[in-house]
Amino acid sequence: MLIHLPILQVIIPLLGAPLCLMVKGSRFVWGFTLLVSLLASMISVALLWQVEANGTLSYALGGWQAPIGIEYRIDILSAYLLLIVSCMSTIVLLGGYRSIEKEIPVSNQSYFYVAYLLCLAGLLGIVAAGDAFNVFVFLEISSLASYILIGLGKDRRALWASFQYLIVGTIGATFILIGVGYLYIMTGTLNMVDLAQRIPSVSESTTVLVAFAFLIVGVCLKLAMFPLHVWLPNAYAFAPSIVTAFLAASATKVAVYLLFRFSFGVFGIELTESILPLHEVFIGLGLAGVFAASLVAVFQQNIKRLFAYSSVAQIGYMIVGYGLDSVAGSMASLLHLFNHALMKASLFMALAAVVYRLGSVQLKDLAGLASVMPWTAAAIVIGGLSLVGVPLTVGFVSKWYLVLAALEQDLWWVALLLVVGSLLAIVYVWRIVEQMYFAPSTSGDQSDGTREAPIGLLTALWILVIANIYFGIDTRLPVGVAELAAEHIFGGRL
């Protein structure tokens, strides 16, 4: 059984998806989906434990060995991502029942769960897959599922946002496919380990460079790197709250994973470094993302959109870490992956609670929220503090490493700008805090109608909030794994 874990990780949610259609009653579907997700996360924990103990796992599907067969390959980086994705999915689902019930029409709820599981399976598959084509396949699965998930939003603009995401996402996927195709032409293999071995011998060819360009741009499109982020704010803003929470915590993280995987894992550090002034370009784009998105967030009135832009900004931090092109930078970036998943999941979960009670995420409607929904408001505060990077929250830890990584290369201006970026976070977080705590509630009906969010939602929310603090204080798990992963990926071959 243990030996089959890599495939189980992907196959369980994938098979669970159609089964959802057979389960009757929304509560049961939810329970079933949660169970599947829980299984997936337990598997991911087991996988991480195994990888830490025994090193990289390789699983040949159906017994066919690579390169002929399909390989599932779980190294420490993959295991780390699997853990993040599956656990986030589980926690979000755990609290999501009432919110889903309210935000999605009853007739569509079964489809929602199907799409959700498909998306989860796709994301897990991307990470677990050991060959490039499978990555593309799972990418498409997760993308298509997420278009559906976004389109399920009640707001009609959700459809439009979903459509735009569809166009952009498909372009990204196509680019990736083109990149993979070129690589196959040049090397005759799709297996990433083999690719990594063969590419150096053909690295002089234009084709490889073109492949690299397509792959990187495609991935950057998926991970919403500034200025390729335009699809994200609307998609996040108009999707059902739970979907936003899930996607924010997982989808972009997986895309970042792909960036690391392709550039450092497949193409290799030497090539990646030789091609481009990557270093400067990515640092520049990352910082530009931090500032542009944060500044936009400062002026946003819709909080969901505000946090969506903040996500773009946070991705900017990861890109900077990537661009630093060092163990320390990668580690900071990977650490932020984990931490950002935690903070954004908690913030969007809190917004789900707000939407559940208020039906609105406009800033002005939040006036006096703290008195009617104290727990939710407190969660937003802590999530926000984490976003800012206040000590004793996870945000602080990743920023600490990021600044250290910048200082390590004597990039003073980068360190300074990273810190300034946090200041902008303070501004937009503070606007919300002030509105919730210090503004008198605008309408009288809130006082009698509104109360604290349902207990399920709160439980999940506070698990995330506590995780935000816990991993800010006891940093061994994320820091340890991120460090291992960074060293692993920089250690050369996969």
Partner 1 sequence: MWIAELPSFIYFYLGALLLPLLRGWGRNLVLLAIPLVSGFFLWQLPEGEHWQVTLLGFELTPFYTDRLSVLFGYVFHIAAFIAIVYALHVRDLLQQVASLMYAGSALGAVFSGDLISLFVFWEMLAVTSVFLVFARRTERAYRSGMRYLMIQVMSGLLLLVGVILYVQASGSLRFDFIGLEHVGTAGLASWLIFIAIGIKCAFPFLHTWLTDAYPESTPTGTIFLSAFTTKVAVYALARGYPGTELLIYIGAVMTCFPIFYAVIENDLRRVLAYSLINQVGFMVVGIGIGTALAVNGAVAHAFNDVIFKGLLFMSMGAVLHMTGKINGSELGGLYKSMPKTTILCIVGAASISAFPLFSGFVSKSMVMTAALNNGYNVIWLMLLFASAGVFHHAGIKIPYFAFFAHDSGIRTSEPPTNMLIAMTIAAVLCVAIGVYPEMVYSLLPHDVDYTPYDTTHVLAQLQLLFFSALAFVWLNQRGLYPPELPSVNLDVEWFYRRLLPRLFEFIMGLFWSLNEVLRQTIKRFLSALGNHIHTHSGPQGILAKTWPTGRVVFWVAMILAAFLILSLY
Partner 2 sequence: MELSTLLHATMFLPLVAVVGILLCRHQPNIRDGISLLAGVLVFACVLAIHRQFMSGGDVDITWVEILPGLSLSFSLESLGLLFALIAGFLWPVTTLYAIGYMRGHHEKNQTRFYVFFAIAIATVFAIAFSANLFTLFVFYEVLTLCTYPLVTHAGTDKAKQGGRVYLGILLSTSILMFLLAMITTWAIAGTLTFTSGGIFPEGTPAWLLSILLALYVFGIGKAAIMPFHRWLPAAMVAPTPVSALLHAVAVVKAGVFTLLKVCVFVFGLEVLPSLPATQWLIYLAGLTIVLASLVAMRKDNLKARLAYSTIGQLAYITLGALVATELAIVGSAMHIAMHAFGKITLFFCAGAIMVACHKTEVSQMAGLGKAMPVTMTAFLVASVSIIGLPPGGGTWSKWYLIWGSLEAGQQLMVVALLVSSLLNIAYLLPIPLQAFWGSSDTNVESSSQLKEAPMPSLIALVVTAFMTLVLFVYPNGVYDLANRING
- With CB under 5 to 8 Å by kind, the binding choice for 299 among partner 2, partner 1, none is partner 1
3-class secondary-structure state, position 72: strand
Q: Is 209 in the site for partner 1 (CB under 8 A)?
A: yes
Return the number of the residue (217 or 466) whose C-beta is nearest partner 1. 217
Among 35, 213, 269, 469, which residue interacts with partner 1 (rule: CB under 8 A)? 213
Q: Is 433 in the site for partner 1 (CB under 8 A)?
A: no
Q: Is 234 in the site for partner 1 (CB under 8 A)?
A: yes
- Which helix H or strand E contains 60, and what residues bound it? strand 57-60
| 292 burial type by CB count under 10 A (0-12 exposed, 13-18 middle, 19+ buried) | middle
In whole angstroms, how close is the CB of 354 to partner 1 at the nearest point?
A: 20
Q: Is 269 in the site for partner 1 (CB under 8 A)?
A: no
Q: Is 277 in the site for partner 1 (CB under 8 A)?
A: yes
Beta-bridged to residue 71, according to DSSP, are 60
Reported as half-sphere exposure (CB side, CA atoms, 13 A), residue 76 has a value of: 22
Alpha carbon 480 to its chain's center: 20
- With CB under 5 to 8 Å by kind, the binding choice for 155 among partner 2, partner 1, none is none
- With CB under 5 to 8 Å by kind, the binding choice for 404 among partner 1, partner 2, none is partner 2
Beta-bridged to residue 74, according to DSSP, are 57
Residue 452: both structure tokens together? 């604290």
- With CB under 5 to 8 Å by kind, the binding choice for 168 among partner 1, partner 2, none is partner 1
DSSP states along 13-68:
HHHHHHHHHH--SHHHHHHHHHHHHHHHHHHHHHHHHHHHHH--EEEEGGGPPTTT
Q: Which stretch binds partner 1 (CB under 8 A): 192-200, 287-295, 354-362, 363-371?
A: 287-295
- With CB under 5 to 8 Å by kind, the binding choice for 164 among partner 2, partner 1, none is partner 1
How far apart (Å, rounded) are the C-alpha atoms in residues 9 and 25?
Answer: 26
Beta-bridged to residue 266, according to DSSP, are none
Site string (45-84) toward partner 1, x via CB under 8 A: ----------------------------------------
How far apart (Å, rounded) are the C-alpha atoms in residues 90 and 289?
Answer: 30
Strands 71-74 and 57-60: antiparallel
**Of how many residues is the chain composed?**
494
Among 10, 43, 158, 168, which residue interacts with partner 1 (rule: CB under 8 A)? 168
How close are the terminal C-alpha atoms of the chain, in Å?
24
How far apart (Å, rounded) are the C-alpha atoms in residues 348 and 248?
Answer: 8
Return the number of the residue (115 or 481) whose C-beta is nearest partner 2. 481
In whole angstroms, how close is the CB of 299 to partner 1 at the nearest point?
A: 4
- With CB under 5 to 8 Å by kind, the binding choice for 438 among partner 2, partner 1, none is partner 2
Return the number of the residue (59 or 175) whose C-beta is nearest partner 1. 175
Positions that interact with partner 1 (CB under 8 A): 163-164, 167-168, 171, 175, 206, 209-210, 212-214, 216-217, 221, 227-228, 230-231, 233-234, 275-277, 281, 292-293, 295-296, 298-301, 309
